[in-house]
C-alpha cells in the first residue's frame, strides 16, 4: 500500500502561538484519514546543514488526501497563525 507523507521542517518563532497552532491542527487532519507519525526536535545533524530544528511527519492515505487537507478551509484558516508562530517548509512525499 502506498501512502503520502507531509513533512514539516520547523523553526518556532513564538512558542505560545505555535502551541495553539499545533493543538488545532489534528482536527483538520481527521476528515482526511491522516495520522500524525512523528513530532520531534533535532538531536544531531549527521550530514549537511539543516536550518530547522523541529520536524513533523503526517501520513495520509494518498497524495489527493494530503493536497485536499492542505487546501481545505479548515487548514487554511490556521495558516495566518502558523505564519506568525513559525518559519517552516512543508513538503509532500509519495511512497
Yes or no: say if 63 and 6 are a contact pair by the CB < 8 Å rule: no
Q: What is the pLDDT of residue 1?
A: 73
Is the predicted pLDDT of residue 87 greater than 80, yes or no?
A: yes
Q: What is the pLDDT of residue 80?
A: 98
Model confidence pLDDT, tens digit, residues 9-45:
999 999 999 999 999 999 999 999 999 999 999 999 9
What number is the average pLDDT over the span 58-83?
98
Burial class (CB in 10 A: 0-12, 13-18, 19+), 17: middle
Model confidence pLDDT, tens digit, residues 48-60:
999 999 999 999 9
pTM for this model (two decimals): 0.93
Domains, the chain, ranges and CATH? Answer: 4-94 (3.30.70.100)
Q: What is the pLDDT of residue 43?
A: 95
Amino acid at each position: 500500500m502506498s501512502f503520502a507523507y507531509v513533512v514539516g521542517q520547523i523553526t518556532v518563532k513564538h512558542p505560545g502561538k505555535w502551541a495553539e497552532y499545533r493543538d488545532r491542527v489534528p482536527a483538520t487532519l481527521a476528515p482526511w484519514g491522516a495520522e500524525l507519525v512523528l513530532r520531534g526536535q533535532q538531536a544531531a545533524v549527521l550530514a549537511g546543514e539543516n536550518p530547522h530544528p523541529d520536524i513533523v511527519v503526517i501520513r495520509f492515505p494518498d497524495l489527493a488526501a494530503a493536497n485536499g487537507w492542505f487546501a481545505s478551509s479548515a487548514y487554511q484558516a490556521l495558516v495566518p497563525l502558523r505564519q506568525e508562530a513559525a518559519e517552516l517548509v512543508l513538503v509532500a512525499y509519495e511512497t
